[in-house]
Structure 1
Amino acid sequence: MSPAFAARFAADWQRVWGDDRPVGLAVSGGADSLALLLLACAALPGRFAVATVDHGLRPEAAGEAAAVARLCAAWNVPHTTLCLTLAAGSAIQERARDARYAALAGWQQGAGLAALVTAHHADDQAETLLMRFNRGSGLRGLAGMRPMARVPGHEAPLLRPLLGWRRAELSEIVAFAGVVAADDPSNHDVRYERVRVRQALAQADWLDPAAIAASAAHLAEADAALDWAVARDLHTIAAMPDGLAFDPADVPRVLTLRMLERIVMQLAQGTPRGRDLARWHDLLAGGAVATLAGVRGDGRARPWRFTRAPAHRRLRKSEGGA
């Protein structure tokens, strides 16, 4: 491996984590995750373990996991194969993602590892941003993947030290090492949105995935600034005997949405989806009484008032004739 690549990864790792505790790498056997493994071997010797998930969806997956295990054994890296049983059917990629993260989080916790590390890179980030633009996502969604986040559905840190790297660079690292990467056929299946976006990006040579990924990073900075502003102004959410009150007068809509999110988190310990939160806001702004994620909001007067709602109630335009 090029010493420059190893030094670059070490610097990226220090920025993202900067902690000497051992971590767990998710390595599927594809080129991206194998490059992550090779970079970690060069920069983090003795400070990580590896897990490979076999979703049980392809007969080749067991052999791919075994190949990763052999590489890890040759390089003295602890390796675990996590076997899942998923039924084929609708939303398979989403279900596989959820099951994969759950299995990896359980492994990471059980092995006493401080964080989970994935090989998401700049091209992944660009694809994610374009997909979310196409869905009308808000600022939080457009901020894309963060270098440090939480494992979905879990509290463990999720690290992505390769967000500044291109797919071609990672493939170069693997090719130089003489390692043969697995090729999951789903990565070429145009039934999946990400594959269609990836192919469209490849065909549009005037689009620069690195610049798109940089835009996601700028949006993430703006998103963090909103969180900072909300934290500074949390005193504007007033306690009531049975809930909370908030006056949105003269507050920009984007900040009001973050305040509403904090209210839901405080009263119901849940995090609502951005689209549902925006709809809730618009109902309240129209003078309705509406419920979201177990929180009843009353927008008929100022300040808006919020209380816990019965668990069976769902978001709707009005309640009780309001």
Structure 2
Amino acid sequence: MTLRPLPGAAVARFRGDVERLVARACDGMTSADGARLALAVSGGADSMAMLRLAVAAFPERITVATFDHRLRADSGAEAAMVAGVCATLDVPHHILTPAAPIAGNSVQMRARTARYVALGDWARGEDVNFLLTGHHADDQAETLLMRLQRASGLSGLAAIRAVRFDAFGAVLRPLLAWRRSELRALVEDSATPFVDDPSNQDPRHDRTKIRALLAATPALDPAALAASAGYLAEAEEVLARHAELRWSEGWRGPDRGLAIAGEPRDLRRRLVRRALAETRARLGVLHPPFDPDSANVEPLLDALAAGRTATQAGIMVRPGSAGWIFCAAPPRRSL
């Protein structure tokens, strides 16, 4: 396999993007110098561009994983293609698979959850400092529009975070200012193999519909939408710090009462989402799927403000004298 080199300006731009995110993730206390970087590479043009950029910008500090969702017949061959490119670049590569078959409703959300669990477990074992994903400006614009359509609050409208912390550590998205078209041009011009996932064209998925809307509406500039999501994320960080303080003061467990009825609605929204996620984790509730960053909890907040018990995401919440009590929702009665 013969790969052509990337333009030096693109490599320098990527290096700067990663360095800024590393400094942000570490409050300026750490630089990207010497950091080991784990890359999640699916085989699409975006992640293959990230792979080439990362290897050029940070040689001998890269390790790569491809998560084979096993949802399509060609997925194994696609993971093998990534492995072949990594072998040519002399970069370690690992193929990850789900612990159990991905099936049921909300397949995309289930696939995302399984992917990040597997990537986090892998990254912990690799002794790396940061995990990088290939989300770009067009992904960000699509996510923002999807969240607007779902009436998400500020936390959801912040969309894809450039820096996110999970059980593994820091997840970085250094391509959020890059357009899909320029990433595709990079891999095409450098003779880097890539695949087009046919599920990206599946009209059953909300993201596919939003992507078509953007393509048909030139007045909607994905770069501007992505920048707006970035500004919303900055505001979100300020409010999230306040919510974190209030959480540490008020949360004593799902059955102890979360006394936040008098707080501003935005703060109630954040804390009730977190309480739902925490209670689901404690009780082992997996269904229905729940996104703690963007779930619409407005009907739940309205019911609690009116003094009524309500249920969401498999959790029943009832007002009490000491605050809101969270417990498992009773099973639905069959007809």
TM-score, normalising length: structure 2: 0.79
Q: Residue deviations 1:164-212, cap 9 Å, x none?
A: 1111111121122111311121122222211111111111111100001
Residue 54 of structure 2 is matched in structure 1 by: 40
Q: Indicate which of 159, 162, 165 corresponds to 1:147.
A: 162
Deviation of 1:46 (Å) = 1.2
Q: Indicate which of 70, 76, 80 corresponds to 2:90.
A: 76
Alignment of 1:223-262 (within 5 A): 223-231=236-244, 237=250, 243-244=256-257, 246=259, 248-249=261-262, 251-261=263-273
Q: Does 1:12 pair with 2:12? A: no
Q: Residue deviations 1:105-130, cap 9 Å, x none?
A: 22212222233211000000000111
Mapped to 2, the partners of 1:31 and 1:235 lie a distance apart of: 42
Mapped to 1, the partners of 2:60 and 2:80 lie a distance apart of: 21
Q: Is the 8 A contact 2:64 2:93 kept in 1?
A: yes
The 1:260–1:173 alpha-carbon spacing in structure 2 relative to 1, beyond 3 Å, is same
Q: Secondary structure at the match of 1:175?
A: helix
Deviation of 1:102 (Å) = 2.2
Q: Is the 8 A contact 1:290 1:298 kept in 2?
A: no
The 1:21–1:30 alpha-carbon spacing in structure 2 relative to 1, beyond 3 Å, is same
Alignment of 1:134-283 (within 5 A): 134-151=149-166, 154-231=167-244, 237=250, 243-244=256-257, 246=259, 248-249=261-262, 251-261=263-273, 273=292, 275=295, 277-283=297-303
Mapped to 1, the partners of 2:111 and 2:306 lie a distance apart of: 40
Percent identity over paired residues: 42
Mapped to 2, the partners of 1:37 and 1:267 lie a distance apart of: 38
Residue 119 of structure 2 is matched in structure 1 by: 104
Mapped to 2, the partners of 1:127 and 1:205 lie a distance apart of: 14
Q: Is the 8 A contact 1:264 1:272 kept in 2?
A: no
How many residue pairs get matched?
Answer: 307
Letter in structure 2 aligned against 1:226: L
Q: Residue deviations 1:218-272, cap 9 Å, x none?
A: 11122112123335666984989x83463644x4321233344566678887798
Deviation of 1:279 (Å) = 3.0
Mapped to 1, the partners of 2:147 and 2:92 lie a distance apart of: 37
Q: Is the 8 A contact 1:48 1:77 kept in 2?
A: yes
Q: Residue deviations 1:53-94, cap 9 Å, x none?
A: 222233322222222112111111001122447366643323
CA RMSD of aligned residues (A): 3.2
Q: Does 1:125 pair with 2:143? A: no
Q: Is the 8 A contact 1:268 1:295 kept in 2?
A: no
Q: Secondary structure at the match of 1:246?
A: coil
Q: Secondary structure at the match of 2:174?
A: coil
The 1:73–1:277 alpha-carbon spacing in structure 2 relative to 1, beyond 3 Å, is same
Larger RCO, structure (CA 8 Å, separation 6 or more): 2
Deviation of 1:49 (Å) = 0.4
Mapped to 1, the partners of 2:52 and 2:67 lie a distance apart of: 18
Q: Does 1:51 pair with 2:56? A: no
The 1:10–1:140 alpha-carbon spacing in structure 2 relative to 1, beyond 3 Å, is same
Name stretches of at least 5 consecutive residues in structure 1 with no aligned partner. Answer: 315-322
Q: Secondary structure at the match of 2:64?
A: strand
Deviation of 1:214 (Å) = 0.9
Name stretches of at least 5 consecutive residues in structure 2 with no aligned partner. Answer: 1-5, 23-30, 283-289
The 1:234–1:196 alpha-carbon spacing in structure 2 relative to 1, beyond 3 Å, is closer
Letter in structure 2 aligned against 1:255: L
Deviation of 1:39 (Å) = 0.7
Q: Indicate which of 75, 78, 98 corresponds to 1:61.
A: 75
Residue 319 of structure 1 is matched in structure 2 by: none
The 1:139–1:61 alpha-carbon spacing in structure 2 relative to 1, beyond 3 Å, is same
Q: Which moved more, 1:198-207 or 1:269-278?
A: 269-278
TM-score, normalising length: structure 1: 0.82
Deviation of 1:23 (Å) = 2.3
Q: Is the 8 A contact 2:69 2:102 kept in 1?
A: no
